[in-house]
Homo-oligomer: A and B are copies of this chain.
Amino acid sequence: MTEEKWKTAITKIEPNKIAIRGYRVEELMGQVPFAHVVFLLLKGELPSREQGILMDAMLVSSIDHGATPPSALAARTVASGGAPLTAAVASGITAINRYHGGAIEGCMRVLLEAVERKRASGNDTTGAASEIVDEYRAAKRRIPGYGHRVHTEDPRSVRLFALADDLGMAGEYVEMAHAIRAAMTDKIGRDLPMNVDGAIATMLCEMDFPPEMSNGIFAIGRSGGLVAHVYEEQTRMRPMRRIDPVAHEYDGPPDRKLG
């Protein structure tokens, strides 16, 4: 019954001392923003200034998408039965999987594969993109990360790509993401802009995150929205109501701009 020793490289706890990946938590608090500490936790090192800004924007882009996604509906439905806030939020997070948020991981795998081929083939971005698009078409599969049911030009994607440009963070994955879009337009005759899953996938590739972590990062972001939805459900709606995924109406603050 020998058991290999359990090792963990995340947080060291000693009396009156908490060190996250080596940094004292009290030194991080108030100096390093939450999104940067998430980066530290997941990657082992603090982000550069540019990576930190991108990471933060990515978490904000994931924070909420209204009441219709399965995560919000599941969380509200569970809350409606009387579960405590955290248990309801947990059900929402469980709904984030292969089909809800999962396109991030799927798109990362496409981009990683495409960039690998490009490197192997002497840096021909267009060729690698074209090859991938052909293969997906032949297999009658959609490339994850492109196109959206509601948003034809997703404002979150546009913003993430613009930020990457501004920050000098647009590398070969951004290039490849554009090349695949162009190849699809060319071969399918339809322009499918990247959705937010695809844009996040591209940024995660640029920052060298493993694809297996992507749903977790999305979940960290979305946890903010889920707490808001469950709290609203618990305080505004009556228990055991029929939660219709379409019949709701926004009655929050009107459109406004940052001051």
Using CB atoms and an 8 Å cutoff, list the residues of chain A in contact with chain B. 1, 3-13, 15-35, 37-38, 41-42, 44, 46, 53, 56-57, 59-61, 63-68, 70-71, 73-74, 77-78, 80-91, 93-102, 149-156, 158-160, 163, 212-213, 215-217, 219-221, 223-225, 227-232, 234-258
Contact = CB atoms under 8 A, between A and B. Distances in A.
Contact of A80 (B63, B82, B84, B95): B95
Nearest to A35: B34
A256 B209 CA distance: 23
A151 B26 CA distance: 13
A97 B77 contact: no
Interface SS, A side: mixed
Contacts of A30: 53, 56-57, 60, 159, 163
B68 A94 contact: no
Please tell me how many copies of the chain the complex holds: 4
A124 to B, nearest CB: 32
Contact of A83 (B31, B97, B154, B256): B97
A236 B96 contact: no
A258 B77 CA distance: 35
Nearest to A157: B26
A40 to B, nearest CB: 9
Contacts of A254: 22
Contacts of A87: 83-84, 87, 90, 93-94, 97
A164 to B, nearest CB: 10
Given A18-B65, A29-B60, A87-B87, 5 more contacts: A12-B250, A15-B151, A22-B253, A42-B231, A87-B93
Contact of A13 (B8, B16, B22, B66): B66
Contact of A38 (B13, B224, B248): B224
Given A61-B25, A252-B10, A224 B41 contact: yes
A95 B23 CA distance: 26
